[in-house]
Amino acid sequence: MPNTSNNSPAFPSDNVDSHEIDKFSAIASRWWDPDGEFKPLHQINPLRLDYIERQCQGVFGKRLLDVGCGGGLVAEGLAKRGANVTGIDMAKAALQVAKLHALEQQVEVDYQLMAAETFAEQHAAQFDVVTCLEMLEHVPDPSSVIRACAKLLKPGGRLFLSTLNRTPKSWLLGIVAAEYVLRWVPTGTHDHHKFIRPAELLAMTDACQLRANDMTGMHYLPWRGFFFSSRNVDVNYIVSLEKPL
């Protein structure tokens, strides 16, 4: 059964945006509705899981941490593939949904209400894989989260980061189209100023002595759906990194 303990120390308030927490908490009950506000995440989740598993040469038996786990789509999906998964988030409502869903599905995931920085102080170098997907653009200081992720990794461990590029195209597709035209996600989900260019992201990971192994973009075509391709990273992109031995 999933761990239901919520005991945790105070989190670093200077790197938590309470507005962002409230925004996602308000719709947390619909996290596992494949046709609700999180429909795009449901559609891209199999792609993300396959990418992580492929880059890691399998996740079975590995200790994995999902930072900013939300309602548990990634954490539960990787647990079903045999990983020993912990998920952390600062949205209590989302974690409650994640725990309930894991219980219903009889999937083992250890969910904890804790910030990455606090968790890293207690669990340094304990994880084979750390994922932080679609979360960096929702915190005041993404570099702080990346430092925590790097600290949590064992030597030789893998880190996966995904976010949105700050380009005119990402504003058009990620905000105007996704939020206002297609209504894929709630209006106000994203702030274009918080999007992160790949060069900016890699500068943050370089500062943590992480080596980038792969970067690819997320694309969408009406007749094909979502897919990964390295042809460009103009909108959504994911990076696979490794901590040196």
Amino acid letter at 128?
A: D
Cβ 49 vs Cβ 77: under 8 Å: yes
The crossing angle, in degrees rounded to 10, of helices 73-80 and 39-55 is 40
Q: 222 Cβ partners below 8 Å, 6+ apart? A: none
Q: Is 68 annotated as a binding residue?
A: yes
Q: 147 Cβ partners below 8 Å, 6+ apart? A: 117, 120, 207, 208
Q: Is 133 annotated as a binding residue?
A: yes
Q: Is 225 annotated as a binding residue?
A: no
Six token digits for residue 141: 């200081």
Six token digits for residue 67: 């930072």
Which residues does the annotation place in the binding site for S-adenosyl-L-methionine?
48, 68, 89, 133
**Binding site, annotated residues:** 48, 68, 89, 133
